[in-house]
Each structure stands twice: as C-alpha cells, then as structure tokens.
Structure 1
Amino acid sequence: MWLLGYPTVIGSALRGERTVPMPVTPNTCAETRNLPGPILTASGIIAFALTLITAGYGALTLSALSALAGMVCLRVGIALMIIEHRRVKAANPPEAAPHDRL
C-alpha cells in the first residue's frame, strides 16, 4: 500500500507484505576527513568579502592581505575537496554496466 509515493508501514507488516526500506542519508559530519575543504573554501569566500569591504574603506594594505588569504584558502580548500572526491571515488569503484541493453 502506497500513500503519497511512500510505502506505508502501519499494518503492512501485520498483513505479511514486504516493506521497502527508505534510503538513509549518510552522516557526513561523522567523517571528519572531508571537513577542512569546505571550511577553507568558506573562509576564502569570507576573506574575499573582507577584501571588498576594506577596499571600500581605503585600507589597501589590509585589502591586499585579505585578498592573498582568500586566494590561498580557496585554492587549498578546493584542492582538498578534489582530493577527497578522488579518494572516495577510488574506494567505491563503479559497477560494470549490464550488456543486456544493447
């Protein structure tokens, strides 16, 4: 029995019907290997916002330093996310495609 696209569990186990398990979202915060990349990327975006603010006030030295910090944070953060993506992709090789669709 389906209700709004989801299988109803109430009573279906009592009638002996098979229930479809719902997908479980992985807890990405439990694995701390992936956190430095997004944190550094967000820090780089914030540093670039600080660059625009300090440039608007006329503090060119502070603006140059925050631009440099933003560039470094963005590059390192994106590089860490790419490395993590490649690590996860290598750990879970793709399954072979079925040949019966030819």
Structure 2
Amino acid sequence: MASLFKKFVAAFSGLVSACKDKSIQIQLVFAVCVLIFGWIYGLNGEEWLWIISCIFIVILCEMVNTAIERLCDLVDLRINPKIKYIKDLSAGCVLLASFYAVVIGCMILKGVLR
C-alpha cells in the first residue's frame, strides 16, 4: 500500500512540476479563457465534453512534449540533427492537437455540434 501511495505522490509531484513550466502555463491560460467563453456562450453537455476533452488532449501533449525536450537536453545540449528531429516531432504533436482543438471549437461556434 505504501508503494501505491508513493506512486500517487510522484504523479501529483509531476502535475505540480508541469504547472510550473511556461509552455504548459500558456496552455492553461488558453484553457481558462476557453472555459470562461464556454460558460458565457452557454455550452450544452455534449459541447462541454468536446471542449474539456480538447483541453486535456492539448495539455497532455504539451506535458509529453516538455518531458521529451527535457530528456533530449539531458542527452546532448549541442546542436544534434537527430535530437532536433525528435524535438520537432514532439512539438508537432502539440501543434496537431491544437489544430484539432481549434477545429472542434469552430464546429461548436458554427453550431455543427448542436
């Protein structure tokens, strides 16, 4: 049981660390803005499900991207084409998730999901 507790402590520590990262803080600011807008706009249950899912996907991708970038920096801080490729691929994941979130947001605004 103590081992399980330690795992949860480590996981929560990871969440706290993530919230201190500038890239993730930017995503959290956008998330709060979207949540405020959704509240003002009067989203229905299905729309909230889509919005919250998009927020989680983007933040999760940003957390994984940050972890990959930090790991790559531990391996080599010099310019390395292989590490650049890994970092670019990871950043592309965040960009793709963000595009997905924007598409869903536009569909909700246009009433497609209503």
What is the TM-score of this pair, normalised by structure 1?
A: 0.45
Larger radius of gyration: 1
TM-score (norm 2): 0.41
Bigger proportion of residues as helix: 2
